[in-house]
Amino acid sequence: MKKAALAFALCLGVIGSAMAQTAVTSERADDATLAAKFSETHAAAERGDAVAQDNLGMMYRDGKGVARDYAQAITWFQKAADQGNASAQSDLGMMYLSGLGVERDEAQAVVWFRKAADQGNADGQYRIGLAYALGKGGVAPDYDQAEAWIRKAAEQGHAGAREMVRKIEASGSAK
């Protein structure tokens, strides 16, 4: 029954579109504020601050305060991810999944999602759950694993995961 619920959600496009999306949301700010923020963030990133490195990667990815540059985004996400920053690990996974700044590589994306998920990162948990649901990135489909990871993300308030859990429960196939 779990397989049917996840397949139902797939048919609705919940999983497929979520796997391909990048989180590109931010509030509007004037150019001077963004440039100052970029400068501050860059300085902290150069000093080795993993949170700043992740934030700098996001700025390059999204073109906020600097021209969009996926290769630079990868560089900074990688530095932060290598220091164990779970957010950067998930961000790096998305870059591999989307093929932005690197060759598209689902298996490498899953490696980074798993590292983030193992640290309790909700986005990493959601995305590794999707990989299990779809049998992507070198993991065999495993609906119990998919549901477990998606539920962990939902418990942390991840919107996509909460929607998936709602659909699973509405289908009557929840654990």
Tens digit of pLDDT for each residue in 92-129?
Answer: 999 999 999 999 999 999 999 999 999 999 999 999 99
Across 51-63, average pLDDT: 97
User: Is residue 109 one of the residues assigned to a domain?
Assistant: yes
Residues 30, 153: Cα–Cα separation, whole Å: 34
Tens digit of pLDDT for each residue in 143-157?
Answer: 999 999 999 999 999
User: Is residue 175 one of the residues assigned to a domain?
Assistant: no
The CATH number linked to 9 is 1.25.40.10
User: Is residue 47 one of the residues assigned to a domain?
Assistant: yes
Domains held by the chain: number: 1
Residue 31: predicted pLDDT: 75
Start-to-end CA span in the chain (Å): 10
% pLDDT > 90, the chain: 75
pTM above 0.95, yes or no: no
Residue 74 lies in domain: 2-20+29-170
